[in-house]
Amino acid sequence: MKNKYFIVILFYFSSLSCFSQAGQWTWMGGSAGAVSSPGSFGTLGVPSATNVPPGIYEGVYWTDLQGNFWIFGGVNNWPVLNDLWKYDPSINQWTWIKGSGGLLDQPGVYGTLGVPSALNNPGARGWGASSWTDNVGDLWMYSGYGIDATGGVGDLTDLWRYNIATNQWTWIKGDNVAALLGSYGVQGVANATNLPPGRDETNASWKDLAGDLWMFGGSSGAGSFNDLWRYNISTNIFTWMKGSNISNQIGVYGTLGIPNPSNTPGARFSYTRSVDLSGDLWLFGGSGYSDVWKYEILSNQWVWMDGQNITGTLASYGILCDTSQLNLPESFKSENRACWADQCGNFINFGGFSYNDLWFYDVTNLSWLWIGGTNTTGAIGNYGTLGVMSATNDVPERGGSCGFMDNAGNFWLFGGYGNFNDLWKYTITDSTCLPGNCFTSVPPPPPTPTPIPAVNTELFIPNVFSPNGDIENNLFTIKANGYKTYHLEIYNRWGQKVFESDDSQIHWNGKINNANMNASDGTYYYILDLSNSNDVKSNYKGFLTLTR
């Protein structure tokens, strides 16, 4: 394990034009500048090119299994909102889905615990909340600072699930009033009465390879946390896994690169995270830290992987796209919530208060790479022309933004402190700048409508199947009659191929490569290539759902 950062030097460059960068920004929508826009809601449930959310920061955000972006709530000039929005990057349009339509500080409508309803809606909230997209495509949210069922204000202890297909919220667990303390129970022991204390200033939340939901840290009126929690969807139970049940605890670093049961990150606001190919959880910085941690799920141990074990370290930028082992992001910036993780667990982090720099972290080589933005504070940015990518475009400095990644590997950023409501897309234009990155491993969505089958052919592609052992719908069966050639590939959401066949009579049984291991429930992506008797080729791409 390398040993670095014991001397940190802050480099400044007066001009960046001579250096390469990994990609380019495109201003995709919303207003230019921090204008506290009230937004344009349009008609509930109807997408439109003129729709745009209000200017917000520290909203809750997700990317669904089809590659659409979602936001809930957020801070709008200090009051908070309770609206749910969806953005479809394929058509560049927002849709107002649920909520009060821009009314401020609305209380929650909880309904009955565990029962979905079209009337349910979480109370307005912002300042950070944990969020997840589960294996079947539902959106989950826990806590945040906002308005409870009675109109009271504080850190919330409610867990919500949103079902996209039914357009309904369900209050799943926790309390419908703010400022309750939660219940830790016994560390490592699952219990139905366990409940994390309410918190804000975190989106350090992961979904592991088994589909369980994890969250770390954050803050409340009592101080900052360093507790790690696991939530099992099928049992509806939280488990306190690591860290302290007392706030404001210092970290225990141990030895760099060596796991130890005593190791734990210090209490902090925390934002940047990823999951690697082994399913282990990664965490970067927060609250003045520049350290990198890995949590090994199987051993239940934290490992201090990189960075310094003290707060307040200065940046060492080096040169854009230079892989120096001295590179290190600034630890003083806060609310650097916009982050993106690739399929290998590497991650990119944007800005934070007073910054607009873009950093890439390689979890294999344990090294930082400055790939874009400026190395000074207070960058005013450059919007350029709406919808036009340019090397001179740059996002103004900000913290508290929402971050998304589309199916083609582009990074998207919305809003931020100052009540921005601008939407940006970052496209990798120099793949040599990112060593071994996996951002584009997931096949892209279909660029054109599905072609019409040739005359004298028959084609039917289902979009759901349930290999649960009953007598119905156990196979993903494509009916492709009258075609000369047939080739089918199916990928999971991490871009891994789970099935391939050149024989239209061989169907996917829901196991990885039709072997012995079950594929998990969720959404998959298929690519089907056909040619008819005239050698006319056709290509079909789309999504299918596996549910048992």
Banded model confidence at residue 542, pLDDT cuts 50, 70, 90: confident
Q: Cα separation of 145 and 167, whole Å?
A: 24
User: Among 246-255, 373-382, 434-443, which is the least confidently predicted range?
Assistant: 434-443
Residue 331 CB-density burial (10 A; 0-12 exposed, 13-18 middle, 19+ buried): buried
CA 197, distance to chain mean position in Å, is 23
CA 318, distance to chain mean position in Å, is 28
The candidate with the shortest Cα–Cα distance to 450, out of 478, 492, 409, is 478
The candidate with the shortest Cα–Cα distance to 454, out of 394, 538, 527, 390, is 538
Position 4 in a domain: no
State yes or no: pLDDT of 2 exceeds 80.
Answer: no
Considering the domain architecture, whether residues 409 and 491 belong to the same structural domain is answered as no
* Residues 175-196: tens digit of each pLDDT: 999 977 899 999 999 999 999 9
* Residues 314-332: tens digit of each pLDDT: 899 999 998 888 899 988 8
Report the domain count for the chain: 2
Residue 378 maps to which CATH number?
2.120.10.80
To the nearest whole percent, how much of the chain has pLDDT over 90? Answer: 68
Position 1 in a domain: no
Position 532 in a domain: yes
Q: Report the chain's terminal Cα–Cα distance, integer Å.
A: 43
Considering the domain architecture, whether residues 423 and 466 belong to the same structural domain is answered as no
Q: Which long-range contacts (CB under 8 A, 24 or more apart) does 536-540 make?
A: 536/454, 538/451, 538/453, 538/454, 539/451, 540/446, 540/450, 540/451, 540/459, 540/461
Domain span including residue 377? 23-433
Considering the domain architecture, whether residues 421 and 484 belong to the same structural domain is answered as no
Tokens of 468: 């649960």
Residue 36 CB-density burial (10 A; 0-12 exposed, 13-18 middle, 19+ buried): middle
Contacts of 212 (CB under 8 A, 6+ apart): 230, 231, 232, 233
Contacts of 499 (CB under 8 A, 6+ apart): 488, 489, 490, 508, 512, 513, 514
Contacts of 515 (CB under 8 A, 6+ apart): none
**Mean pLDDT calculated for residue range 148-152:** 96
Task: Give the pLDDT confidence score for residue 459 in this predicted structure.
Answer: 87
Tokens of 55: 């200017």
Chosen domain end from 433, 449, 471: 433
**Mean pLDDT calculated for residue range 126-131:** 94
Residue 542 maps to which CATH number?
2.60.40.1220
Position 451 in a domain: no
State yes or no: pLDDT of 409 exceeds 60.
Answer: yes
Considering the domain architecture, whether residues 415 and 527 belong to the same structural domain is answered as no
Chosen domain end from 433, 468, 493: 433
* Residues 190-224: tens digit of each pLDDT: 999 999 999 999 889 999 999 999 999 999 988 99
Considering the domain architecture, whether residues 462 and 429 belong to the same structural domain is answered as no
Position 219 in a domain: yes
Position 452 in a domain: no
Task: Count CA within 13 A, CB hemisphere, residue 522.
Answer: 23
Considering the domain architecture, whether residues 289 and 327 belong to the same structural domain is answered as yes
Considering the domain architecture, whether residues 377 and 490 belong to the same structural domain is answered as no
Beta strands in 281-381 (DSSP E): 281-286, 289-296, 301-306, 339-341, 347-352, 355-362, 367-372
Considering the domain architecture, whether residues 497 and 356 belong to the same structural domain is answered as no
Banded model confidence at residue 48, pLDDT cuts 50, 70, 90: very high
Q: 431 — phi, psi (to 5°)?
A: -65, -20
Considering the domain architecture, whether residues 466 and 324 belong to the same structural domain is answered as no
Task: Give the pLDDT confidence score for residue 456 in this predicted structure.
Answer: 67
Task: Give the pLDDT confidence score for residue 440 in this predicted structure.
Answer: 58
Query: Count of residues for the chain?
Result: 548
State yes or no: pLDDT of 149 exceeds 90.
Answer: yes
Considering the domain architecture, whether residues 429 and 472 belong to the same structural domain is answered as no
Considering the domain architecture, whether residues 272 and 377 belong to the same structural domain is answered as yes
Position 447 in a domain: no
Considering the domain architecture, whether residues 368 and 469 belong to the same structural domain is answered as no
Position 11 in a domain: no
